[in-house]
Amino acid sequence: MTAYSQFSDWSYTTAAAIYVLAMVFVLVEQAFGRVAKQRVAQRDQAKQRALVGAGASVPESGPPAEPPVSRPSAGRPERFGRMGVSLIVLGGLLHLAALVLRGFAAGRAPWGNMYEYLMALSFVAVVTWLVVLRRYPLRHLSAFVLLPVAVLMFVGGTLYTEAGPLVPALQSYWLVIHVAAAIIASGMFLVPGVASVLFLMRLANEGNPKRFARLSQRLPAKEVLDRIAYRTSVLAFPIYTFGVFCGAIWAESAWGRFWDWDPKETVSFIAWVVYAAYLHARATAGWRGKPAAWINTAGFACIVFNFFFVNLVTTGLHSYAGV
């Protein structure tokens, strides 16, 4: 068991280092890819002028041509971006190996304490982002997702706990169901949280071009960020709801009551209400855009507050899942 635990620790540390390296590669593309795009555009314009100067016919009528699709950055910046995504995949595989090995070492589901919880949550966030990248060509935004992931993994490392059996209060099959649902939903909520923050930055830049000027130039359209935040939240919210209901059932089995207004229960319910309000606001025409983005950001803030403040500062019925 000690060997499994040691290999899990090594995989976890290596995955965190690879995520940081991937973030550097993506930032290289973000910093220099715009220059490459401008050069490609200038070269295309020069070719078009040369064709016109050579007497090439230019249609004077007919339907207007569709706007050209933005081409990816050319040359080395693009290669750095692709290597960054490949590193994210490699880090994700090592991250998964760390989880599996931790489970073998502990002889149970690998989310029985805060270190393991953060390990699993950050893995779900990475997988969610990779799924988003399959749908949207936004790899230059990977650094904004990898940064909180790296922070979570660093914090998890400071909360490290040796692999071992669970305390009696957690020895239940509900640990696999309830906590797994909470991990999946919370990890997925990280992506729309980041997307909504970037949306608000892009919106602030439109109101005042001096605010977030350099960053906004590299962000996609507001509609894309809004779509990512909404669609990911739509998938995560039912899982979160399922986790809350399972937690209530487990509470009745363990404590004899479905709800006791424990700090973690209370903040979890507040987060559920906020995300329900976000989905409703996003589906209502008058509340789309900035108001919905603020509500989604507030929901993600509740998730973060619930984990760090409630777990590390307050005490309650969930304190046995401690550090």
- Tell me whether residue 61 is in a domain: no
Distance CA 274, CA 299 (A): 5
Distance CA 121, CA 239 (A): 14
Higher pLDDT, 12 or 282: 12
Residue where a domain stops, chosen among 162, 193, 220: 162
- Least confident stretch, 4-18, 32-46, 87-101: 32-46
- Of the chain, the percentage scoring pLDDT greater than 90 comes to 41
What is the average pLDDT score of the chain?
Answer: 82
What angle is formed at CA 153 by the lines to CA 164 and CA 177, rounded to 5 degrees? 55
* Residues 127 and 261 both lie in one domain: no
pLDDT-based confidence at residue 312 (cuts at 50, 70, 90): confident
What is the per-residue pLDDT for 58? 46
* Residues 181 and 135 both lie in one domain: no
* Residues 121 and 6 both lie in one domain: yes
- Of the chain, the percentage scoring pLDDT greater than 70 comes to 82
Do residues 206 and 223 make contact, with C-beta atoms less than 8 angstroms apart?
Answer: no
- Least confident stretch, 150-154, 165-169, 175-179, 266-270: 165-169
Mean pLDDT confidence for 57-75: 48
* Residues 221 and 270 both lie in one domain: yes
What is the per-residue pLDDT for 68? 45
Tokens matching residue 323:
């550090």
Mean pLDDT confidence for 149-169: 85
- Tell me whether residue 67 is in a domain: no
- Least confident stretch, 17-26, 34-43, 263-272, 300-309: 34-43
Higher pLDDT, 71 or 179: 179
What is the per-residue pLDDT for 148? 93
pLDDT > 80? residue 184: yes
Neighbouring CB atoms inside 10 A of 304's CB total 16
- Tell me whether residue 301 is in a domain: yes
pLDDT-based confidence at residue 51 (cuts at 50, 70, 90): low
pLDDT > 60? residue 125: yes
What is the per-residue pLDDT for 285? 67
Tokens 């070719």 -> residue: 47
pLDDT > 70? residue 52: no
What is the per-residue pLDDT for 78? 84
* Residues 83 and 131 both lie in one domain: yes
What is the per-residue pLDDT for 40? 43
Tokens matching residue 255:
């404590």
Rg of the chain, C-alpha, whole Å: 23
For the stretch 188-246, pLDDT in tens is 999 999 999 999 988 888 777 777 777 777 788 888 999 999 999 999 999 999 999 99
Tokens matching residue 146:
């990898």
- Least confident stretch, 25-29, 139-143, 283-287: 283-287
Most confident region among 31-35, 60-64, 140-144 by mean pLDDT: 140-144
- Tell me whether residue 96 is in a domain: yes
* Residues 170 and 274 both lie in one domain: yes
Residue where a domain stops, chosen among 144, 162, 180: 162
* Residues 225 and 269 both lie in one domain: yes
* Residues 276 and 128 both lie in one domain: no
CA atoms within 13 A on the CB side of 21: 14
What is the per-residue pLDDT for 70? 47
Structural domain that includes position 33 = 1-51+74-162
- Tell me whether residue 241 is in a domain: yes
Residue where a domain stops, chosen among 123, 145, 162: 162
pLDDT > 90? residue 160: no
Do residues 52 and 44 make contact, with C-beta atoms less than 8 angstroms apart?
Answer: no
- Least confident stretch, 7-11, 126-130, 261-265: 261-265
- Tell me whether residue 174 is in a domain: yes
| Amino acid identity at 52 | V
Domain count, the chain: 2
